[in-house]
Amino acid sequence: MEYCKLQAGCLAVLLYILFSYLREYRTYKRSLRESFFDELLVLGILCVSFDCATAYTVNHLDTVNPVLNDVLHLLFLTGIDSVVFSVFVYMLHITGLYPRRLVIKVAGLLPFAVNIFVLVLNFNSLEYVQGVYTNYSMGVSVYTCFSMVILYTLLTVTLFCTRWKYIERHKRSCIIVYVLVFLTVMLLQMRYPEILITSIGITIVILGIYLSYEDPALKELSEYYSETVMSFANLVENRDSSTGGHIKRTTQYVRLIAQNLQKRGYYKDILTKDFISDMEKAAPLHDIGKISVPDAVLQKPGKLTDEEFAVMKKHAENGGTIIRESFEKFGNDEYTEMAYEVARYHHEKWNGRGYPEGLSGEKIPLCARIMAVADVFDAVSEKRCYRDAMPLEQCFDIIRKGTGEDFDPIIANVFLEIKDAVEEVHRSFAQNK
C-alpha cells in the first residue's frame, strides 16, 4: 500500500462526497437527475480507483499479470480523459453554452473520441519505467492522454474567461482556482511522471464543483430564501382578491423576457447570470408597497378618484422603502438593490410620464423596464374586480402601441417576438385555475 496511499486518500474524499450527496438528497427528497454532476462524480471515483490500482500494479510487475496491468492502465487513462471532458461539458452547462445542434455536439466530442480510439489501439505498447521512488507508465497512449488533458483543460479555462459573466459572481473565483489547480497538477504530472499526483487534481476539481454548485444543503438554503421572498409577496397579493396569481405569472414573463434579451445579444453587459437570477427573485416583490394601501382603495370595484389614485401611486415609492428596510441585512446587496429598483420604478414610462419620479429612457433601471412590460401585460390579460380580462390579441396590441412610449422599444419588441411562449405561460396558468 506504500505506493497508493495518496490515491486511497483521494478516493476516500470522493466517496465521502458521494455519501453526503446521496444522504442529503434522500433527506430533502430531491431527484438526483438535476445536473451533470452525477456522471462527473462517478467518473471521478472510477478514475481514482483505477489510479490506485495501477499505482500498485506498476510497482509489482513481477507478481501482477501483465494483461491485467495493461487493462488497468487503459481504464485509468480513459478515466482521466473522461473526467477532463466531463468538466468541460459541465462548464458548458453552467454557462448556458451547451449545444443543441447535433453537428456541434459531434464536433466537441470528436477529439475525445479520437483520443479514446488511439488509447485502445496502442495500449499494448505501454512502457513501464523504473523511477527513483516508484515505477510509472509511458508510451503513445500516455502522450495522447496528456494531449487530451491539455486541450480540454485549456478549452475549459477559455470558456470560463469568455463567459465569466454567465457564472454567479460569488462562484467565479472558486471555479477558476479549482480549474487552474487541476491544470497545474496535470502539468506537474507530465513534467515529473514519477510523482503520480493525478488523483489530487481530479479530487480538487470535483470537490470544488460540489462545494460551489452541487451541495444539496446549499441548494436547500437557496430555495428557502426564495420561498421566503415568495411568501412575503403572497401576503400582499392576498389582500387584493382581484390579482390572484399575478406575481407567479409576471415572474414567468420576466424570466422569458430576460432570457430572450440575452439570447439576442441585447444589454449584454448587464444581462449576466446574476442579473437574471436576481431579477427572477425580485419580480415577486414589485407590488410589495401595496401593503401600505388602504383596503378601501386597493379593493375598490370601480374607478379610482384622483385622490384615491394618488394614494395608490404611493405603493411604488413605499415598496422601495419597505425593501430597503426589510432586506438590507440579507447579505446580498446586488439583489436588494434590484428588488428596490423593481418595486420603485416599474411604473416609470419610457417617455417620462410615469411615476414616482418621471424617469425616462435608459434612466429607468433595466430590471424595472422589463418588469413594466410583464406587469402591464398581465394586468390587462386577467380579470379584475372592476373589469373583465381583455382578449390576448388586444393585450399584445397594448404592448405594441406602447412601444417607444410606455415601454423600452427593445424589450417590447422582444416580448412581441416571443408571443407564442407568452401565450403558453398564460394558458398553463389558466388551466391550473
Domains of the chain: 5-214 (1.20.1070), 221-431 (1.10.3210.10)
The reported pLDDT for the residue numbered 133 is 82
**pLDDT single digits (tens) 94-135:** 777 777 777 777 778 888 999 899 988 988 888 898 888 888
**pLDDT single digits (tens) 241-288:** 554 578 889 999 999 999 999 989 899 888 887 888 889 989 998 988
Window from 61-75, 102-116, 366-380 with minimum mean pLDDT? 102-116
Q: Which residue has the higher pLDDT, 103 or 293?
A: 293
Window from 201-205, 228-232, 290-294, 340-344 with minimum mean pLDDT? 228-232
The reported pLDDT for the residue numbered 31 is 46
The reported pLDDT for the residue numbered 225 is 66
Average pLDDT over residues 159-178: 77
Q: Is the pLDDT reported for residue 57 higher than 70?
A: yes
The reported pLDDT for the residue numbered 43 is 94
Binned at pLDDT 50, 70 and 90, residue 32 comes out as very low
Average pLDDT over residues 285-304: 83
Q: Provide the whole-model pTM.
A: 0.71
Window from 28-42, 88-102, 284-298 with minimum mean pLDDT? 28-42
**pLDDT single digits (tens) 143-166:** 999 888 888 888 888 888 887 777
Q: What is the 3-state secondary structure (H, E, C) of the chain?
A: CCCCHHHHHHHHHHHHHHHHHHHHHHHHCCCCCCCCHHHHHHHHHHHHHHHHHHHHHCCCCCCCCHHHHHHHHHHHHHHHHHHHHHHHHHHHHHCCCCCCCHHHHHHHHHHHHHHHHHHHHHHHHCEEEECCCCEEEECHHHHHHHHHHHHHHHHHHHHHHHCHHHCCHHHHHHHHHHHHHHHHHHHHHHHCHHHCCHHHHHHHHHHHHHHHHHCHHHHHHHHHHHHHHHHHHHHHHCCCHHHCCHHHHHHHHHHHHHHHHHHCCCCCCCCCHHHHHHHHHHHHHCCHHHHHCCHHHHCCCCCCCHHHHHHHHHHHHHHHHHHHHHHCCCCCHHHHHHHHHHHHHCCCCCCCCCCCCCCCHHHCCHHHHHHHHHHHHHHHHCCECCECCCCHHHHHHHHHHCECCCECHHHHHHHHHCHHHHHHHHHHHHHCC
The reported pLDDT for the residue numbered 329 is 65
Report the mean per-residue pLDDT for the chain: 85
The reported pLDDT for the residue numbered 51 is 94
Binned at pLDDT 50, 70 and 90, residue 27 comes out as low
Average pLDDT over residues 291-295: 83
Binned at pLDDT 50, 70 and 90, residue 189 comes out as confident
